[in-house]
A = this chain, B = another copy of it.
Amino acid sequence: MAVRLIALYAPPEDPAAFDTHYRDTHAPIVRRYPGLRDLRLTRADGVAGRPPAFYLMAEMAFDSRADLDAALASDAGIESGRDLRNFAGAGVTLLVADDQSGL
């Protein structure tokens, strides 16, 4: 995968409600992104006994940065952004990782 949009979700107050909303509502919107090649969801754990800074990492893969930007500007992209307020009140950090631009 060439370019990933990575969403890092802060630990929610109600993990069970978060999981249900993500699985049943948010993920289906994300899967409608045009050009989406892969959606990988990963639980985050802490290191050395410390709690993790993030609860869930969602990695959305695209062929190019242009495809990623087009997905975010699409109807599904706008809908997913609006849906964040329904479950991600604890915060979400978004990053773009261009795997072709490594150190």
* B-binding residues in A (CB < 8 A): 5-6, 8, 19, 22-23, 27, 40-48, 52-54, 56-57, 65, 72, 93-99, 101-103
CB pair A47 B95 closer than 8 Å: yes
Residues of B within 8 A of A47 (CB): 5, 72, 94-96
Given the known A-B contacts A103-B19, A103-B22, A103-B56, are A95 and B44 also in contact in the complex, defined by CB atoms under 8 Å? yes
Min C-beta distance of A97 to chain B, whole Å: 4
CB pair B96 A45 closer than 8 Å: yes
Nearest opposing residue in chain B for A57, CB measure:
B97
CB pair A96 B52 closer than 8 Å: yes
Min C-beta distance of A84 to chain B, whole Å: 12
Residues of B within 8 A of A40 (CB): 99, 102
